[in-house]
Structure 1
Amino acid sequence: MFLIFGFKSSDRRLAAPVLLCAYCGVTAAQVLVRRTTKFSLFFIPLFPVRAARHFTQCTNCANTRFVDAREAERLAV
């Protein structure tokens, strides 16, 4: 009997506020993304194995910066 298991990460775009990028210094949209990682069995995601992580990605230079949940909530409004 074979068991096929693994982990699957999925990204969800939450918002795109216009902010100053800390890397390139350009005022551009910073896409706020929430990434969740779930355990999957036979290619079916079952339950999360890691707390949701948030990060912003600059639309100008594509640099990413991880943010905590409190800052992500503030940016999503």
Structure 2
Amino acid sequence: MIIFGTKGYLHQLAILTMVCGWCGNPAAHTLRKRVTKFTLFFVPLFPFSTKFATQCTFCGGEQQIPQEQADQLLAQHAAGQDGRPYGQAQQQPGFTPPGQGGNPYQR
């Protein structure tokens, strides 16, 4: 008697802030990787299915995405949302940080 089957594994890769396609709210989304492995005698041997998805933490809507898009989202997450490393704030145009520049109302 040979016992075989499948077992699924769910890996959370990142938490991203995006606009949800279901509810339209800017909310946190979890990027997940679901791997299904073939098992023989309850021992996982090899993966035969890998799927990526994002899930909105506000409404719970889930969307399957291709691996290329998941890799791109992970790269953006690693570099920060706008390409800058973490810890560097985004400045508004025309904004001068305190202590860097003179007061325009002072003569």
What TM-score, normalized by structure 1, do the two folds share?
0.90
Partner of 2:51: 53
CA RMSD in angstroms, aligned pairs only: 0.9
Indicate the structure (1 or 2) with the bigger Cα radius of gyration: 2
Residue identity matched to 1:36: V
Q: How many angstroms does 1:4 deviate by? A: 1.4
The equivalent residue for 2:24 is 25
Structure with the bigger RCO (C-alpha within 8 Å, sep 6+) is 1
State the aligned residue count: 75
The alignment partner of 2:46 has SS state of strand
Gaps of 5+ in 2: 76-107
Counterpart for residue 42 of structure 1: 41
Name the counterpart of 2:88.
none
1:3 aligns with 2:2: yes
Q: TM-score if structure 2 supplies the norm length?
A: 0.66
Larger proportion of strand: 1
- Give the distance between the partners of 1:17 and 1:30, measured in 2 at CA: 5
- Identify unmatched segments of 5+ residues in structure 1: none
SS in 1 for 2:11: strand
Q: Distance in 2 between matches of 1:6 and 1:53?
A: 18
